Structure 1
């Protein structure tokens, strides 16, 4: 699944070609991708809208149009590609935006889990999904007191809670493992029991890991591409995720894989020993 660094990279890649392009027409081939409004309204509203900018909030791409924001979540396998209007549609291409000059921006998604919302600008911050999101990793309000307040009633393992997009946005399974490893926190430890130093480390290493991943264009493990044929490089820097039965880079103990909250989780039993 594309996480914050991958979505940030996709955003920057799309901006190079799409700014000031006009959406002359749109075709929707799999209607469940469009979550809001209904498909016919979506098609009518977005026609002849100019793409003025592209931003990101958490894992959501935000296309700023003349009168609306187009929100796009890539979920597991979503990606954007460019095709000539005359090129045949593949079975995994579900939405096509005609952007002029015989070119279409096509949304491709083998799993069909992606979602799009088209909202009027005044509603962006007050309606779902944006209204439900927590702080960005670089928000000045992300501090010990914020996390202590958010975690105080969380009896679930920190591995589960760190993925909660209503607290800190953009952290997915891969980066969660890396952040907890660098923070020396056992993934089973209850979020409510974390010390101030551990909370500070989560903040510190969230920024560190995500910034490094952005610089390297994200992580490609399965199918992620920022554009066709362009893969991320952070997978070459992973310390713990995907390293089951390999030696820990810090202590040489063997990395183990477990399931926590249904998510594959990698950690070092020595470096991340639970102090309780």
Structure 2
């Protein structure tokens, strides 16, 4: 599934390709992609004559800002956007086509068919599902150390599933949680409320640094991800932990181990990320 760096890369690419284009008509070839309105003809009619003014992102969701409406798009597992000439051959698994007045088309392709699209009155999407319950944006100015510490609070849950929870912090995803925890030297099964203030600060800095580096590299093409121009990301060549089971740790040389935490494959170095257990309190005499 594309995570924050991949979705941000798609956003930046699409911004160069579709800003200022006006929709002449919309073809919906697979109804299940369109969630709101649930009538595909109504969906197409709302966007007819609308111009794309900007492309924004909230977590792993793309937000297409039109004159009067916001279209929220979730790529899920393998959703892709691409801009084509109207005379170019249609690729298999193309499910939604936005035909522009200039003769080009924005096509949405999704092999797994898990992607979704919702239309809301302009900016109303932020107060409605699926966006209203999303947590802190880790690349936003509002993501401060104090805000991060507040989200961690005194929660006794393991740190990895907490970081994966989109209601706390959005968009990090499995790859970048493993990378961030390694950079901070924190075991993925540490309980959040056992982290010292120094460890919280190291983890905060690791998250910001990892995501910024991933965005700069165009994301990670671990499976099938490409941006809006069909280009793969390059951050997979910089991964220090994820997907490197049994390979030597780049810091200490110890073999990287893989386990399952909260149902997700998890990579860590047992030497660089020791699992520290809280000391038992002595009983009173």
Q: TM-score, normalised by structure 2?
A: 0.91
CA 1:122 to 1:207, structure 2 compared with 1: closer, same or farther past 3 Å?
Answer: closer
Q: Aligned partners of 1:143 and 1:4: how far apart in 2?
A: 18
Q: Aligned partners of 2:94 and 2:62: how far apart in 1?
A: 18
CA 1:245 to 1:59, structure 2 compared with 1: closer, same or farther past 3 Å?
Answer: same
1:161 aligns with 162
Unaligned runs of 5+ in 1: none
Cα drift, residue 55 of structure 1: 1.1
Q: Aligned partners of 1:151 and 1:82: how far apart in 2?
A: 41
Q: Aligned partners of 2:140 and 2:51: how far apart in 1?
A: 30
Q: Aligned partners of 2:63 and 2:120: how far apart in 1?
A: 10
1:8 aligns with 8
| Matched pairs, number | 276
1:57 aligns with 58
Unaligned runs of 5+ in 2: 278-285
2:75 aligns with 74
Q: Aligned partners of 1:35 and 1:237: how far apart in 2?
A: 37
1:185-204, aligned counterparts within 5 Å? 185-204=186-205
Q: Which one has a bigger Cα radius of gyration?
A: 2
CA 1:140 to 1:89, structure 2 compared with 1: closer, same or farther past 3 Å?
Answer: closer
Q: TM-score, normalised by structure 1?
A: 0.94
Does the 8 A contact of 1:148 with 1:192 survive in 2?
no
Cα drift, residue 150 of structure 1: 2.7
Cα drift, residue 155 of structure 1: 3.2
2:184 aligns with 183
Deviation per residue, 1:102-140 (Å, 9 max, x gap)? 322110011111111111015132111221111111344
Cα drift, residue 228 of structure 1: 4.1
CA 1:145 to 1:73, structure 2 compared with 1: closer, same or farther past 3 Å?
Answer: same
Cα drift, residue 154 of structure 1: 3.5
Question: Which 10-residue stretch deviates more, 223-232 or 2-11?
Answer: 223-232
Does the 8 A contact of 1:219 with 1:235 survive in 2?
yes
Cα drift, residue 83 of structure 1: 3.0
- Could you say what secondary structure the match of 2:208 adopts? helix
Does the 8 A contact of 1:144 with 1:196 survive in 2?
no
2:260 aligns with 259
Q: Aligned partners of 1:207 and 1:256: how far apart in 2?
A: 24
Does the 8 A contact of 1:154 with 1:191 survive in 2?
yes
1:111 aligns with 112
Q: Aligned partners of 1:41 and 1:197: how far apart in 2?
A: 53
